[in-house]
Structure 1
Amino acid sequence: MATRENFGHADLELWLNERRVTEIECLVPDLTGVARGKILPREKFKEDRGMRLPEAVLGMTVTGEAPDSEAYNQVISENDRDMVLIPDASTVRLVPWATDPTAQVIHDCYFHDGKLVDYAPRTVLRHVRELYARAGLKAVIAPELEFYLVAQSSNPDMPLTPPIGRSGRAETSRQHYSIDAVNEFDPLFEDIYDYCDVMELEVDTLIHEMGAGQMEINFLHGDPLELADKVFYFKRTLREAALRHKMYATFMAKPMANEPGSAMHIHQSVVNAETGRNIFSTEAGEPSEAFRHYIGGLQKYLPAAMAFLAPYVNSYRRLVRHTAAPINLQWGRDNRTVGIRIPHSTPEARRVENRVIGSDANPYVAAAVTLACGWLGMQERIEPSPESKGSAYHSDYQLPRSLSEAIGLLDEAPALQELLGNRFCTVYKLVKLAEHDEFMRVISPWEREHLLLHV
């Protein structure tokens, strides 16, 4: 059988037959990273013909609404026309929690003329990856994904709380890197590791993070599209496993007021596609010009990119002072207080860690955007600021403080919008503006508590 990256139609058919698959979940990641699609009986799955879904599936708010805008309709047809979905055979995986043999496969979105839908998140990442490929380069990433386990509750007005562990008690204090705190949820994590093995997700390490019930999973480094697929699958897998253990798993950036937020740190490097040499290091093992310029690109363009990397109103509750999250775009070696960290490594493994991304970000969009910022830095030969040697937690804010501010900053970065695709950026901005407007119609408990009788 062919390797995953070379999977063809015949390989997919053989794979499905060997596992006696009876159903196939045909998945498309939308702008929010939510899995859309259809579930088909095996005999109805026609890889070469694809299936149909409305274009608007890719341009909805997190609540399922479409922006009412002429600019939106110039990109996504108001006639509610279909697009063609073709499976990427290399992404086929079993659904390990299904009762009957069930497969899941991620699809790419095409127009009827055979061109990829340019505002599909997977297409945007493909485009950025191809920019590197045309220059003889290959981007490499390794995501680290934080999340919370929380007790189940059907009332969204009630604050979230940590779940009950094996001891019969919930965490009441922070257990940073505690092995025993992770062991409280051994039955859940045993299922998660089993599921990940079946799905070939190649997760690396699991740790307990700072917050009560907060964990982090790390992925082995690899191709950006493959890693984005794995994060997409992992989010779905974790939620399902948690439900089976009577708890929720959440990737909200800030689910609990008095606990740290959750990030998706992305380690990234660039190698010569032919030789495999890391271009962030010179032949003598010193930091290269490309390394400096990549950092410079992140520093210049990340403020304008934050609407992609912190995509919800809630995202900015994480990016505040004294919460272990960066509020700056300084860079430093082995320094977790900066937004752009350079981990200790050999010259061959020299890399940049983007620490400003929230765990609520769409993994395809997040990977595409951070690689785009670094690419622009290398193309424009942007020099970074001097290295931050001490704690940067008390530095000035260098990131937008709200979603509306972030959307405004995006308009000031035409080079970034052009690289990602102007049509994609148009749809994305309009969706985010619609979500912001919807949020502003909600009256919060804080307003009722402090304004009702005092103003």
Structure 2
Amino acid sequence: MSSTVPTGTSRFEVFAEPGSYRVVRPTNAEGVIDLINRHGVQIVDLKFTDLPGLWQHFSITLPEVSESLFQNGIGFDGSSIRGFQEIHESDMLLVPDATTAFVDPVCATPTVAIICDVVDPVTHEPYSRDPRYIAKKAERYLRETGLATTCYFGPEVEFFIFDSIRFGQDAHSGYYFVDSSEGEWNTGSDEGAYGGGNLGYQMRYKEGYFPVPPHDTLQDIRSEIVLMLQSIGVQVEVHHHEVATGGQNEIDMRFSTLTRMADNVMLYKYICKNVARKHGKVATFMPKPLFADNASGMHCHQSLWQEERNLFYDASGWALTSDVCRWYIGGLLHHAGALMAFCAPSTNSYKRLVPGYEAPVNLAMSQRNRSAAARIPMYSDSPSARRVEFRCPDPSANAYLAFAAMLMAGLDGIEQKLDPGEPLDRNIYDLPPEEAAAVRQVPASLDAALAALESDHAFLCKGGVFTDDVITTWLEYKRKREIDAVKLRPHPWEFHLYFDV
């Protein structure tokens, strides 16, 4: 919840949840300047997101901070940013969003960080390839449809913390090595999780959910991440070790509105990576870094609200869901092939999306059932808790684009009243072959997902949310920079399979 500070200080907004930190965020430029003064800040850091989804930044000194910065922006070279401008049109502007300002807990020098929007300096319009702008347009389009006023997202972002990582490839070699003192593969090593010899508390494969310490060596690191996130206004509900051996984790943030939640995902990744580094470890959101164990997903809980009413709830409906909810699910399932181009956007994503590792490859809906792509959580029968959990996305996604795409698919499902099919409340992996053959599955590769996006993206372009330019740029970037790059390189396992042919 949020509330405005009493009279005379409306330049701030208080973000607080029961039992949580009370965090004050600015609402305008004056509030940011006050925040700088109150905390003895010396540097202001401007952050924005490139098209693939990695945070970029540069820092400015205090004399450069004025109200005009928040109106006119500050220039940067857009041609040096992935997925942005060509060299002949490189000048771009960053315009800070005052409501995102926070004292950056990562920096030793007192620093305020602000998330920025990207603006074209010629047209003075928001930049069409700015992921945050696309998310904002999706929320605006939702309101314009009259179907709902708000879309809430609650992603479950999983990640690994390793003790070390090495990788490389050249003309005559290619390798990767990851290590974790928790890893099952270290049961025979001389050094254990605490040094001074192996104490034998490594987690067995697929048994990381939920042993206590000493098996779980990352409890305090996760707690530190949680407290740091809450100190900057990101509310967290729970944290725990995840299924895989070797340091898989999950920290669940409290749901929020679409763009704000995407901002929070960026903050989450930033804090996780930097806290891990502080402890001499490394955090990765790569979906499938380990062979033969569970991968990292980003299950996305979502619901539509009309003011204070949850449109996904119906006391008499299947699993307490409304027609609107089921049509929304119909849109997610119908457009799932295209969605995967944004929700599972790496070649590594499709090492996760295979049967047998709790991977949601089956395009069906269910209640409680984690083998279905769309699940209705049944922990509570409260109207406010009714939501759909779309389980296909993973944390390599650009959250701004993935959330916007899912909303647009769901809205198209409502508009067309798309039937999601009969619920499958059984383990879909154990269906008889004739029944299993009737269940559609997600694309088996990034190649296939991009082909699906190429043929099915009209739903994304409604209301100008995604543009043809964004779709074309995404397809070209992924094909040339990622798919072709992987295709060109020999895989280590190919030597095992083919060296003696």
Same fold (TM over 0.5): yes
Task: State the SS of the aligned residue for 1:180.
Answer: coil
Alignment of 1:383-394 (within 5 A): 383-394=419-430
Matches within 5 A, 1:33-48: 33-45=53-65, 46-48=69-71
2:312 to 280, 283, 288: 280
**Higher RCO (C-alpha under 8 Å, 6+ residues apart):** 1
Once residues 181 and 371 of structure 1 are traced to their aligned partners in structure 2, the CA distance between those partners, rounded to angstroms, is 42
Distance 1:405 1:181, change over 3 A: farther
The residue correspondences of 1:35-114 to structure 2 (distance < 5 A) are: 35-45=55-65, 46-60=69-83, 76-112=85-121, 113-114=123-124
SS of the aligned residue for 1:159 comes to: strand
Q: Does 1:406 align with 2:449?
A: yes
What residue number does 2:202 align with?
171
- C-alpha deviation, 1:368, in angstroms: 0.9
Letter in 1 for 2:44: I
1:306-349: CA deviations, max 9, x gaps? 11111111110000011111111110011111110001132332
| Aligned match for 2:232, one of 193, 196, 199 | 199
Which moves more between the two structures, 244-253 or 411-420? 411-420
SS at match of 1:400: coil
Post-superposition shift, 1:57? 4.7
Q: 2:177 aligns to what? A: 159
Q: Distance in 2 between matches of 1:110 and 1:191?
A: 36
Residue in structure 1 matched with residue 343 of structure 2 by the alignment = 309
Aligned length: 438
Which residue is 1:451 aligned to? 498
The CA distance in 2 between the partners of 1:34 and 1:349, in whole Å, is: 31
Contact 2:213–2:219 (8 Å) recurs in 1:
no
Contact 1:263 1:355 in 2 (8 A): yes
Equivalent pair of 1:159/1:256 in contact (CA under 8 Å): no
C-alpha distance in 2, partners of 1:389/1:186? Answer: 34
For 1:376, what is the secondary structure of its paired residue? helix
Counterpart in 2 of 1:356? Answer: 392
Question: Given the superposition, is the C-alpha separation of residues 384 and 284 from structure 1 closer, same or farther in structure 2, using an over 3 Å criterion?
Answer: closer
CA contact (8 A) 1:149 1:163 kept: no
How far has the Cα of 1:193 moved from its partner?
Answer: 2.5
CA offset digits 1:272-328 (Å, max 9, x no partner):
03xx10111247675322111101101101111111111111110000011111111
Corresponding residue to 2:154 among 130, 142, 145: 142
- Residue 163 and residue 88 in structure 1: after superposition, are their counterparts in 2 closer, same or farther (change >3 A)? farther
Contact 1:37 1:53 in 2 (8 A): no
Query: Identity, % of aligned pairs?
Result: 26
Q: Distance in 2 between matches of 1:141 and 1:307?
A: 19
Which residue identity is paired with 2:474? Y
Question: Does the 8 Å CA contact 1:177/1:210 hold for their aligned counterparts?
Answer: yes
Partners of 1:313 and 1:108 lie apart in 2 by 29
- Stretches of structure 1 that go unaligned for 5 or more consecutive residues are 61-65, 67-75
Letter of the 1:199 counterpart: I
Contact 2:339/2:402, CA 8 A, preserved across alignment? no
CA contact (8 A) 2:26 2:32 kept: no
* C-alpha contact (below 8 Å) 1:327/1:399 kept by paired residues: yes
CA distance in 1, matches of 2:249, 2:181: 13
Secondary structure of the structure 1 residue equivalent to 2:94: strand
Three-state SS of the structure 1 residue aligned to 2:140 is: helix
Contact 1:182 1:207 in 2 (8 A): no
Shift of 1:260: 0.8
How far off its partner does 1:153 sit?
3.0
Change beyond 3 A, Cα 1:186–1:299? closer
Give the drift of 1:198: 2.2
CA, structure 1 residues 291+187, in 2 after alignment: closer, same or farther (shift >3 Å)? Answer: closer
CA contact (8 A) 2:329 2:413 kept: yes
State the 1:172 CA deviation: 4.1
- Residues 164-184 of structure 1: CA distance to partner in whole angstroms, max 9, x if unpaired? 686446734122122326752
Change (3 A) 1:181 1:389: farther
User: What is the letter of the counterpart of residue 382 of structure 1?
Assistant: L
CA 1:237–1:6 in structure 2 vs 1: closer, same or farther (change >3 Å)? closer
Task: Answer 1 or 2: which has greater strand percent.
Answer: 2
Query: What is the distance in 1 between the residues matched to 2:35 and 2:254?
Result: 25
Task: Show the counterpart of 1:438.
Answer: 485
C-alpha separation in 1, matches of 2:315 and 2:355: 40
Rounded Cα–Cα distance in structure 2 between residues aligned with 1:162 and 1:428: 34
Counterparts of 1:47 and 1:130 in 2: how far apart (Å)?
Answer: 22
Q: 1:158, 1:109 → 2: CA distance?
A: 36
Check the 8 A contact 2:150/2:305 in 1, yes or no. Answer: yes
Alpha-carbon distance change, 155 to 432 in structure 1, aligned in 2, over 3 angstroms: closer
Residue pair 1:417, 1:425 contacting (<8 A) in 2 also: no
Query: How far did residue 119 of structure 1 move?
Result: 1.4
Deviation at 1:226, TM superposition (A): 0.9
TM-score, normalised with respect to structure 2: 0.83
Q: Which amino acid aligns with 1:361?
A: A
Which residue number corresponds to residue 5 of structure 2? Answer: none
Q: How many Å separate the matches in 2 of 1:432 and 1:82? A: 24
Distance 2:401 2:78 in 1: 18
Q: Cα gap change, 1:163/1:369 in structure 2, threshold over 3 Å: closer, same or farther?
A: farther
2:71 is the counterpart of 1:25: no
CA deviations over 1:200-233 (Å, ceiling 9, x no partner): 1111100111101111111111111111111101
Specify whether residues 238 and 182 from structure 1 end up closer, same or farther in structure 2 by C-alpha distance, changes over 3 A only: farther
Q: Distance in 1 between matches of 2:26 and 2:416?
A: 35
1:120 is aligned to 2:140? no
SS at structure 1 position matched to 2:161: strand
TM-fit CA distance, 1:186? 3.5
Q: How does 1:205-220 map to 2 (within 5 A)?
A: 205-212=238-245, 213-220=247-254
